[in-house]
Amino acid sequence: MSTLSNFIKSAKSIIPTFDRVLVQRIKASQKTASGIYIPEKNLSKPNVANVIAIGPGYTAQGGQLIKPTVAVGDKVLIPPHGGSQITLNKEEYLLLRDSDILAKIQD
Per-residue pLDDT of the chain (107 residues; tens, 9 = 90+): 345 555 556 666 788 889 899 999 887 666 666 777 666 665 567 789 999 999 998 888 888 998 999 999 999 999 988 888 988 888 889 999 999 999 999 87
Q: What is the DSSP letter of 4?
A: H
- On whether the CB atoms of residues 21 and 68 are closer than 8 A, the answer is yes
Domain ranges of the chain: 4-105
Q: Is the pTM of this model over 0.85?
A: no
Beta strands in the chain (DSSP E): 20-25, 48-54, 58-59, 65-66, 75-77, 84-88, 91-97, 103-105
Q: What is the pLDDT of residue 3?
A: 52
CATH of span 4-105: 2.30.33.40
